[in-house]
Chain A
Amino acid sequence: MRIEYSPRGIFLSEIGLWLDAQEPQEACWISHAHSDHARSPHGTVFATPATLSLYRTRLGLDEAGFRPLDYHECAEFHGARLTACPASHILGAAQLLVEHRGERLVYTGDIKLRPPLCGCATETVACDHLIIESTFGLPIFHFLETEQARRRIAGFARECLDEQTTPVFLGSTLGRGQEMVHALSEAGIPVSVHGAIVHYLPLYEAAGYPVQWEPYDAESTKGTAVVVTPGLRDQLEASARNLRFAYVSGWAALANARLGARAEHLIPYSDHGDFQELISMVQSSGARRVDVVHGYAEAFARILRQTGCDARAAGVRAPEDE
């Protein structure tokens, strides 16, 4: 299958379908609702129903042109068969299987192998050609098992609350923010939430991940854990005292994140796969040809080539934060 990589996204020219296009296009597959993937409106949009509703919430679009594809559901498009397959990342994330003239292509989008705290678990799909991400594609990245992460999040919160300090979790707007609110609520720890994380909580709740939370209020943080986006940190620090910061991220696998994120406690949990997860996904796909996008693409492709795989780094866009 012909695949064109450019800063505008990935284009399957034979069937006229874009994957996570950065600019408006006639037809596009959106792997998940993170802003670097679901960036702009398109004529026809293929995505899972959950991704479509997050995408709509974010961009304020109407539903015209939406082509919801639930997990395992298929659609015919310009002579190809498109199937959405579960991807462990954020709510609604999916891989796309494209079958065209006897060839099977899988585009993972952002993905990990371990189940997320909220969302579905990855199902690996056999294919000939795999497009995989490599945000953490170096052998120094080892993340926690999901249950360990859940325990560590709750454990840090409890320990701080016991010492009359306020645990603060810095999380992304969409994904880890809601996951942490969910994990803390499940552990019976009161949570205050600040910033844009709030917008998506109802969608997570509707998807079956109960959350118990209060809007953040500087006067009444005592006795609650706080979940905020990193951008609100300074405001938070100006208004409250005795804060202790935890950084929940893939980057927290490295001790230098303590300085970078200005957090004392590191919890290496990500919505991306660590090195071993990425390697396992490549191996179990059986793909003979692998294109690597994002992050340490060059290095990860070299490592795959050493294992005899026809792998190359595909320049899509500059790596950005998770």
Chain B
Amino acid sequence: MDRFAQVCDEVAQTGSRRKKVRLLSEYLRGLSDEDLPRVVRFLCARPLARTEAELSIGHSRLRDALMEILPWEPEIVRLCFREVGDAGEAIGLLLEGFTRREPMTLASAELLYQRLYYSRRAAGKVSLLTSIFLQHRPRTLQYFIKVITGDLRIGLKEKIVEEAVAAAAGAAHDTVRKASNRSGDLPAVALAARRGRLHAVEASLFHAMDFMLAKPVDQVREILDPAIWLVEDKYDGIRAQIHASGDKVMIFTRSLDEASSSYPEIAAAVQALPHSVVLDGEVLAWRGGSPLPFFALQRRLSRKRLTAEILEQVPVIFMAYDILYLDGDLLLDTPLEQRRALLEQTLAGHGAPLLVSPQQRADNLETRFTEARERGNEGLVLKRPGSAYESGRRSGAWVKIKRPYATLDVVITAAERGHGKRATLLSDYTFAIRDGARLVNIGKAYSGLTDSEIRELTRLLPSLAQEESGRVLLVRPAIVLEVAFDAIQRSKRHASGYALRFPRIVRWRRDKTPDQADSLARVRQLHEGRAGVRQSRAFLNEPGI
């Protein structure tokens, strides 16, 4: 462990990734078969081999143990922790001069972690920590604790450790990455790599694998060979990977956080499957056979507690589109069509909340795209027949078509009360663009503002009222909104002679006045496809695929 600490210090002292990899791989190469997986585990800041095992040692226990040794007042020690900013480092620095500086082997470090784990009572942990602190070298203790607190803080990402594992064994980084990805067990992979047995590393459930990603394309016409692809809708939800076996279900999202408690109805449905599976797909807010807009899902996720009311207001489904594991078989290298057949068999006979994303041969992509939009989805995903599931890659075997959103700055000219829950709020807005000194209406939008913004506008708009006719309040132009849409069409419905397809409010432009709104001339240009498209950042929520 002393050498481990020294190598960690050296890794911290260089900013070069290449050098970090070299330092680590040289160290790994010299380790025994027993120590190699141990060190890789410690480098990933995991004290114990069992991933779910927690040592339950927080700052206060560490400080309690430290206070048994140090002569200073607790406030001084607290100040020191604050100045250092990392518990392990602070402990190492504070113990300088107070320990017997005896060596610690990697095996004994592991044994100590186990003893800390098995000593269940807090007092037991503290007194064990105290005796560890007294015995070993401060720098070693620094890293011994960092492994427990979960971050070595030496500028090391798991990818760098992977690279070092590969370099140490003379294996290809990509092979190591794949093996680690399917097993979630880099320490075991390190040993397998050394023995040339990477192909034998098996998949393990309940460890999130990296998602396969789709290459973005703006226009259908950019697809060169449209006839070969398999086509699905691109959903505007939350990408998720579901692991299930027996009674256990875990739902991982793109950040690889476990989120099953947020989607109890999906978890329950998956739990009922008579299979061990890993599914890839998208969580969508869903009602009456079609998706609700993304902000409905956001509203549900923003709740701290899921009440019966919100479960009922925003039901969710899982739209499955791939299967990565089934009853002991890892399917990453199984061709797309076979995976698809297994997916359909596995979920056959299920309805919401477990759906299978419809897939078709591509015929007319333009038509498919428009249909997908009409179903309330973002666009299309094209999948190459015969392709493998390339975990963590954006290789081009999947392509997504999602037109960039053009936006317009428009002025509110009228407001209406909404329906249902929004009956008391002025939530539906008619908006206009400039035509010389005049304003001409171009559309109406209901969605996109936050509840608090809608409440604010409900208070504000009556003070701008010029006229009230029935439900409609005509207002003096003052409020500018940024509106996104998919297309501009000619229309007799509005005075501008144009209408927006799928208009939605991106944000309230408090920084703009009505004379800064977009003009009819720009709308004309957009319609004729001459204007450059402005992309709105506000629409880039968590990417699905």
Q: Please list the residues of chain A having a beta carbon within 8 angstroms of any beta carbon in chain B.
A: 138-142, 244, 253-256, 258, 264-266, 276, 296, 299, 302-303, 306
Whether B153 lies near A255 (C-beta < 8 A) is yes
Given contacts A256-B84, A265-B14, 8 further A-B contacts (CB under 8 A): A138-B80, A139-B72, A140-B94, A254-B89, A255-B153, A256-B85, A266-B13, A302-B73
Chain B neighbourhood of A258, CB < 8 A = 12
Chain A neighbourhood of B517, CB < 8 A = none
Whether A140 lies near B13 (C-beta < 8 A) is no
Minimum distance in angstroms from B16 CB to a CB of chain A: 8
Whether A264 lies near B14 (C-beta < 8 A) is yes
B 52-106 contacts with A by CB, 8 A: 70-73, 75-76, 79-80, 83-86, 89-90, 93-94, 96-97
Number of contact residues on B: which range applies? 20 to 34
Given A253-B93, A254-B89, A138–B83 Cβ distance below 8 Å?
yes
B 12-27 contacts with A by CB, 8 A: 12-16
Whether B76 lies near A303 (C-beta < 8 A) is yes
Whether A140 lies near B93 (C-beta < 8 A) is yes
Minimum distance in angstroms from A304 CB to a CB of chain B: 11
What are 18 A-B interface contacts by the 8 Å CB criterion?
Answer: A138-B79, A138-B80, A138-B83, A139-B70, A139-B72, A139-B76, A140-B90, A141-B93, A142-B96, A244-B15, A254-B89, A264-B14, A264-B15, A265-B14, A276-B97, A299-B79, A302-B73, A303-B72
Given A265-B14, A303-B72, A139–B89 Cβ distance below 8 Å?
no
Minimum distance in angstroms from B285 CB to a CB of chain A: 40
Chain A neighbourhood of B94, CB < 8 A = 139-140
Whether A140 lies near B84 (C-beta < 8 A) is yes
What secondary structure prevails in chain B residues at the interface with A? loop
Whether B84 lies near A139 (C-beta < 8 A) is no
Chain A neighbourhood of B90, CB < 8 A = 140
Minimum distance in angstroms from A232 CB to a CB of chain B: 20
Chain B neighbourhood of A276, CB < 8 A = 97
Chain B neighbourhood of A142, CB < 8 A = 93, 96
Q: For residue A259, which residue of chain B has the nearest CB? A: B85
Q: Please list the residues of chain B having a beta carbon within 8 angstroms of any beta carbon in chain A.
A: 12-16, 70-73, 75-76, 79-80, 83-86, 89-90, 93-94, 96-97, 153
Chain B neighbourhood of A302, CB < 8 A = 73, 75-76
Cα distance, A303 to B73, chains bound together (Å): 8
Whether A265 lies near B79 (C-beta < 8 A) is no
Whether B12 lies near A255 (C-beta < 8 A) is yes
Whether B73 lies near A306 (C-beta < 8 A) is yes
Chain B neighbourhood of A255, CB < 8 A = 12, 84, 86, 89, 153
Whether B79 lies near A254 (C-beta < 8 A) is no
Cα distance, A299 to B94, chains bound together (Å): 15
Whether B13 lies near A299 (C-beta < 8 A) is no
Chain B neighbourhood of A299, CB < 8 A = 76, 79
Minimum distance in angstroms from A242 CB to a CB of chain B: 11
Chain B neighbourhood of A244, CB < 8 A = 15
Minimum distance in angstroms from B152 CB to a CB of chain A: 10
Minimum distance in angstroms from B85 CB to a CB of chain A: 5
Given A255-B12, A255-B86, A265-B13, A140–B80 Cβ distance below 8 Å?
yes
Minimum distance in angstroms from B168 CB to a CB of chain A: 21
Whether A139 lies near B14 (C-beta < 8 A) is no
Chain B neighbourhood of A303, CB < 8 A = 72, 76
Chain A neighbourhood of B83, CB < 8 A = 138, 140, 254
Chain A neighbourhood of B96, CB < 8 A = 139, 142
Minimum distance in angstroms from B314 CB to a CB of chain A: 41
Listed residue (B13, B72, B84, B89) with the most chain A CB atoms within 10 angstroms of its CB: B13
4 closest residue pairs by CB, A with B: A264-B15, A140-B93, A140-B80, A256-B85
Cα distance, A256 to B76, chains bound together (Å): 19
Q: For residue B142, which residue of chain A has the nearest CB? A: A255
Chain A neighbourhood of B14, CB < 8 A = 264-265
Minimum distance in angstroms from A199 CB to a CB of chain B: 31
The listed residue (B15, B73, B76, B89) touching A138 by CB distance below 8 A is B76
Chain A neighbourhood of B89, CB < 8 A = 254-255
Chain B neighbourhood of A138, CB < 8 A = 76, 79-80, 83
Given A254-B84, A264-B15, A306–B72 Cβ distance below 8 Å?
yes
Minimum distance in angstroms from A18 CB to a CB of chain B: 32
Minimum distance in angstroms from A7 CB to a CB of chain B: 24
Chain A neighbourhood of B12, CB < 8 A = 255, 258
Whether B71 lies near A306 (C-beta < 8 A) is yes
Minimum distance in angstroms from B154 CB to a CB of chain A: 8
Q: For residue A140, which residue of chain B has the nearest CB? A: B93
Cα distance, A254 to B79, chains bound together (Å): 14
Minimum distance in angstroms from A74 CB to a CB of chain B: 38
Chain B neighbourhood of A256, CB < 8 A = 84-86
Cα distance, A230 to B411, chains bound together (Å): 50
Minimum distance in angstroms from B201 CB to a CB of chain A: 34
Minimum distance in angstroms from A163 CB to a CB of chain B: 8
Cα distance, A82 to B300, chains bound together (Å): 76
Cα distance, A146 to B75, chains bound together (Å): 32
Minimum distance in angstroms from A63 CB to a CB of chain B: 43
Cα distance, A140 to B71, chains bound together (Å): 14
Q: For residue A300, which residue of chain B has the nearest CB? A: B76
Chain B neighbourhood of A254, CB < 8 A = 83-85, 89, 93
Chain A neighbourhood of B79, CB < 8 A = 138, 296, 299
Cα distance, A276 to B14, chains bound together (Å): 28
Cα distance, A303 to B80, chains bound together (Å): 13
Chain B neighbourhood of A140, CB < 8 A = 80, 83-84, 90, 93-94
Chain A neighbourhood of B72, CB < 8 A = 139, 303, 306
Minimum distance in angstroms from B6 CB to a CB of chain A: 15
Q: For residue A275, which residue of chain B has the nearest CB? A: B96
Cα distance, A255 to B143, chains bound together (Å): 13
Cα distance, A191 to B80, chains bound together (Å): 37
Cα distance, A266 to B9, chains bound together (Å): 10
Minimum distance in angstroms from B187 CB to a CB of chain A: 25
Cα distance, A234 to B33, chains bound together (Å): 48
Cα distance, A296 to B72, chains bound together (Å): 15
Cα distance, A265 to B14, chains bound together (Å): 6
Cα distance, A244 to B14, chains bound together (Å): 9
Q: For residue A152, which residue of chain B has the nearest CB? A: B13
Cα distance, A306 to B73, chains bound together (Å): 9
Cα distance, A286 to B13, chains bound together (Å): 40
Listed residue (A244, A266, A276, A299) with the most chain B CB atoms within 10 angstroms of its CB: A299
Q: For residue B80, which residue of chain A has the nearest CB? A: A140
Chain A neighbourhood of B84, CB < 8 A = 140, 254-256
Cα distance, A255 to B13, chains bound together (Å): 9
Q: For residue A245, which residue of chain B has the nearest CB? A: B15
Chain A neighbourhood of B71, CB < 8 A = 306
Cα distance, A139 to B76, chains bound together (Å): 9
Minimum distance in angstroms from B153 CB to a CB of chain A: 6
Cα distance, A264 to B155, chains bound together (Å): 10
Cα distance, A110 to B79, chains bound together (Å): 23
Cα distance, A240 to B161, chains bound together (Å): 31
Minimum distance in angstroms from B210 CB to a CB of chain A: 28
Minimum distance in angstroms from B22 CB to a CB of chain A: 11
Cα distance, A276 to B98, chains bound together (Å): 13
Chain A neighbourhood of B75, CB < 8 A = 302
Chain A neighbourhood of B13, CB < 8 A = 264-266
Cα distance, A276 to B93, chains bound together (Å): 12
Cα distance, A271 to B70, chains bound together (Å): 27
Chain A neighbourhood of B80, CB < 8 A = 138-140
Q: For residue A139, which residue of chain B has the nearest CB? A: B94
Chain B neighbourhood of A141, CB < 8 A = 93
Whether A139 lies near B93 (C-beta < 8 A) is yes
Cα distance, A296 to B89, chains bound together (Å): 19
Minimum distance in angstroms from B336 CB to a CB of chain A: 44
Chain B neighbourhood of A139, CB < 8 A = 70, 72, 76, 80, 93-94, 96
